[in-house]
Amino acid sequence: MSELINPLHRFIRPGVTSTTNCPGCGNGIVAQAILRAIDELSMDLDDCVFASGIGCSAWVPSPFFNADVLHTTHGRPIAFALGIKMGLPQKKVMVVSGDGDLAAIGGNHLIHNARRNVEMTVICLNNSIYGMTGGQAAPTTPMGLKTTTTPYGAYENTFDISNLVIAAGASFVARWTTYHPRQLTASIKKAIRKKGFSFIEVITQCPVQYGRKTGSGSAVEMLREYKEKSVSVKEAAKLSEEDLQDRIIVGELIDKEKPEMVEEIMKMKKRASGENS
Amino acid sequence: MKGKRILTGKYFMMGNTACAEGAIAAGCELAAGYPITPATEIANRLAERFPQVGGVFLQVEDEISAIAAIIGASWTGKKVITATSGPGISLMLENIGFAVGVETPCVIVNVQRGAPTTGMPTAGVTGDMVQVKRGSHGDYEIIALCPSSPQEMFDHTVLAFNYAEKYRTPVFILSDAFVGHMREEVVIPPPEQIETVYRKLPEPGTDPTQIKGFLDEDVAPMPIFGRGFKAHVTSSCHDEYGKRNLSDVSALDHFVRKLSNKILKHKDEIIRVEKNYQDAEVVLVSYGAVSRAAAMAALRAGEEGLAVGTFRLITAWPFPEEEIEKMARKAKKIIVLENNLGQLYPYIKAAAAHYADVYFLPPRVLGEIHDPENILKKIREVIQ
Ligand SMILES: Cc1ncc(C[n+]2csc(CCOP(=O)(O)OP(=O)(O)O)c2C)c(N)n1
Ligand code: SF4
Ligand SMILES: [Mg+2]
């Protein structure tokens, strides 16, 4: 009898046989969406270079993806990715990291590279919590939620990371949840092809440090909640701000053309070296 | 191309400019930085010259980003540099440890200034001598060069790239505001006279699962990105293949020791000192700008009939312990001269005190070059 092998298995680093994810974690859904997008684009993993920071989400490419992977320091993967892109402008550079990593400690690199519109794809796994360190509040944790560092309820306003990145100047931004793997895959494909900074926020479940500790329930319950709360960009446009409170707006939030930095640098180099004169 | 890569010739040049030219001559193609006095001229020069010769200077949002960007670019096979001063190094420290841990060649210039904190940006004070060795968390070895002239800002920068490439490690240029801003004659040799080294790579086509790209005391080949090596480069504790191991402390022991031994095993090839202490009763030990005052004081002392020699650390790290011990066996008295409150002094004393009396002399005012007259006074005092 022949063995059944997942067609995406060829993208997994040989020798990696187990995952460190907790059962029910959303990381696997996102990992699969990324690999499926690469597969559907008929790309090879050698066409890509991955960078990640520190956190459960950062372990999506490291060590699983059988590609060049730079697993860096907490909050800094985009800053490293900028250097990688400068050195290998023909490669697709992809950053995969968490909400704490990209929007808290690494927020400065996120907004500035969005502003520069450097061609790279950033996938932010937003589980609204610091998963790896044991369920502390993140800048994405909803107001009032009890976490290990907000035992009496979170008292900070939260970041809308996608809006932040749009405001900073990215050329492609989409938001989906782990309830939407197909749509997510389609957006990742667009993001990879985009000549510019593309950002995808994935609302994802951390059933252990979020679900269990905050009473949001199991992975299945959290996915059901995403389904119920999600509202498409188009529909959301018809709703009032009040109606949209506690909803998750999903879809492609922005897709526009604007100067991309690596290309602009190439032009500048031509001017400076007198190649055109 | 408009500009020549290597500007062979004789110039009256600022130290910081010479450093930038040294980087270009060494084959550097990417720099990232954030403006800071007294290092800014390096960035300015690179920003102007690089695009003419095929390189790029990126001004990024902070020094954390600068060091991260150059490490990322180094993993694509480029030679890379960043230049800053103390406050910038303080911000870079976590990622400097990352560069050490994943064995990334890069050159980091610290044009030191008056500190702590914002301090006095234009004052030359070598206050970060130990920070570069001990600033990032954990045990590690580093290479640091201490230029004393604009010519050495050029020469040491070339050497720093060669060390970085050869040993797959960050290498520091520990300059200061004096040397960085000093203008002097700088000779840039013809290209064929500039030795440049490039890192060892795995054989093209090697089975990625068979590449031992890390933790070799004789320096593993670097599985740079974009060549199909499928490198797994992680800040986590890892083995020779780059495989993460977070459960076995003997893997951690192996990780830490191999990284350190990679430098220590080769320290005789790395360490450079300048010795001029034959028959000397008193030896002046110094480095960087201060060594200029030391040389002057030794000369004057000789005119007075005093047997005074000099010993200059060209590499502060790895620390030239054995060379200092050798010197101390011959000298009776050693005066350590530093433009700080005694940063390398404890290390020098530890190596020398068994054989000689060791004294410390800062300048009368921190941030001033030592007055040779003041050094002479100290020499007379210790001889009595
Ligand atoms: C400089 C630094 N500070 C703190 C930490 C500890 N730390 C590790 S992971 C993490 C939070 C990760 O949260 P997030 O990015 O949201 O990832 P998740 O685990 O939720 O996927 C923190 C604070 C660290 N590794 N480095
Ligand atoms: S702690 Fe949460 S985010 Fe981390 S692996 Fe477990 S479920 Fe996933
Ligand atoms: Mg998180």
DSSP A5: -
* Ligand 1 within 6 A of CB of A57: yes
B34: left (phi over 0), alpha (psi -120 to 50) or beta: beta
Residue A135 Cβ inside 6 Å of ligand 2? The answer reads no
pLDDT of residue A274: 85
Pocket test for ligand 1, best of A54, A56, A95, A129 (most atoms within 8 A of CB): A54
d(CA B92, CA B89): 5
Give the CATH H-level superfamily of domain B9-193. Thiamin diphosphate (ThDP)-binding fold, Pyr/PP domains (3.40.50.970)
Cα four-point dihedral sign A53, B233, B267, B255: positive
pLDDT in tens, B364-382: 999 999 999 999 999 999 9
pLDDT for res B1: 45
Ligand nearest to the backbone CA of A208: 2
What's the mean pLDDT in A31-39?
A: 98
| Beta pairing partners, B232 | A69
Position A213 scores a pLDDT of 86
Q: Across all residues in chain B, what is the average pLDDT?
A: 97
Sorted by where each begins, the domain ranges of chain B are 9-193, 273-383
Question: Cβ(A131) to ligand 1 under 6 A?
Answer: yes
Which pLDDT score, from 0 to 100, does residue B3 have?
A: 77
For this complex, say whether ipTM is above 0.85.
yes
| Mean pLDDT within B162-183 | 98
**B9-193 with B273-383: one CATH topology?**
yes
pLDDT band at A276 (very low <50, low <70, confident <90, very high): low
Partners of residue A46 in chain B, C-beta under 8 Å: 228, 230
Rounded mean pLDDT of chain A? 96
CA A65 to ligand 3 center in whole angstroms: 20
Report the percent of chain B where pLDDT is more than 90.
99
Q: What is the mean pLDDT of residues B96-109?
A: 99
Measured CA to CA in angstroms, residue B74 lies from A141, B63, B366, B367 at distances of: 36, 16, 37, 35
The pLDDT tens digits for B4-15 are 999 999 999 999
Which of the four CATH numbers 3.40.50.970, 3.40.50.2300, 3.50.50.60, 2.60.40.2580 does domain A23-273 have? 3.40.50.970
What is the number of the ligand 2 atom nearest to the C-alpha of A125?
Answer: 3
Residues around the ion ligand 3 (C-beta < 5 A): A 98-100, 127, 131
Work out the number of other CB atoms within 10 angstroms of the CB of residue B272.
Answer: 15
Check if A97 has its Cβ closer than 6 Å to any atom of ligand 2: no
Q: What is the mean pLDDT of residues A220-246?
A: 96
Closest CA to B137 of B61, B235, B70: B235
Residue B106 DSSP SS3: strand
What is the per-residue pLDDT for A1? 60
Ligand 2 mutation pick, A206, A210, A212, A223, max ligand atoms within 8 A of CB = A206
Contacts of A83 in chain B (CB under 8 A): 30, 32, 68-76, 80
pLDDT over 50 at A96, yes or no: yes
Number of helices (H), then strands (E), in chain A: 11, 8
Is A277 a residue whose pLDDT tops 50? no
Q: Is B343 exposed, middle or buried (0-12, 13-18, 19+ CB in 10 A)?
A: middle
B273-383: CATH number: 3.40.50.920
* A80:B230 CB<8 A: no
Question: What pLDDT does residue A108 have?
Answer: 98
